[in-house]
Structure 1
Amino acid sequence: MDISLASWFVILLALAAANLPFFSERLFALIPLRSTGTPPVKSLWWRLLELIVMYFVVGLFGRLIEGRTGDVFTQNWEFYAIGAVAFIVLAYPGFAYRYLRKQHG
């Protein structure tokens, strides 16, 4: 896989994974929540937990792809802090859709 293509793949994967918690009422878009007669609604805490897990999943995929294309470079805490902030920025469209848009009806 070309390095440029691999980079774009990881960026698009991060974009999709960062927004997934906000567009689905299921945990990780797979596990349905229990409901007591009303439609299930995930709380913000579940969405944040999913966001953290997705950050590590995307990081694992990025590390695996980096290993396949060449040497894996060691990273310090600054790399992971900037990556976490970038992941949160990528999650903004989903957050805005879920919590900031005007509810009709």
Structure 2
Amino acid sequence: MSAAGWFIVLLALVGANLPFANQRLFSVVSLKTTKKSGWIRIAELIVLYFVVGALGFMLEARAGNRFEQGWQFYAVTFSLFLVLAFPGFTFQYLVKRR
């Protein structure tokens, strides 16, 4: 696997956990509420999936060997993105805080 492939995997890991890392929208915009709702986190996760996918598409096209992908590819990569989000989800919702 090339360095660009590992870069995309690392970027996907960071992007998948970013919605759960803090209470800001995309880690930039502060919200009026003290806690982000689950729906906002899901929307952020979907947007970040497309951002990481676009960067991966751009790197693949730049390398010169862009391949056509079917719906199966996107279903599998989105599922993998959700699996990569598990550590952030666990920290945000399952870890008890005193």
Q: Where on the TM-score scale, by shorter chain, does this alignment land: which range?
A: over 0.9
Partner of 2:2, secondary structure, is helix
Deviations 1:51-72 (A, max 9, x none): 0000000000000000111221
Question: Highest CA radius of gyration, 1 or 2?
Answer: 1
**How far apart are residue 85 of structure 1 and its match?**
0.2
Aligned with 1:59 (options 53, 67, 82) = 53
Does residue 69 (structure 1) correspond to residue 67 (structure 2)? The answer is no
Instruction: Give the TM-score normalised by structure 1.
Output: 0.90
* Distance (Å, rounded) in 1 between the aligned partners of 2:65 and 2:9: 20
**How far apart are residue 78 of structure 1 and its match?**
0.1
Equivalent in the alignment of 1:98: 92
Quote the RMSD (CA, aligned, Å).
0.9
Structure 1 vs Structure 2: percent identity of aligned residues? 51
Q: Which runs of 4+ in 1 moved over 4 A?
A: none
Aligned with 2:78 (options 84, 88, 93) = 84
Deviations 1:21-57 (A, max 9, x none): 000110000111014xxxx110111000000000000
Aligned with 2:26 (options 20, 25, 28) = 28
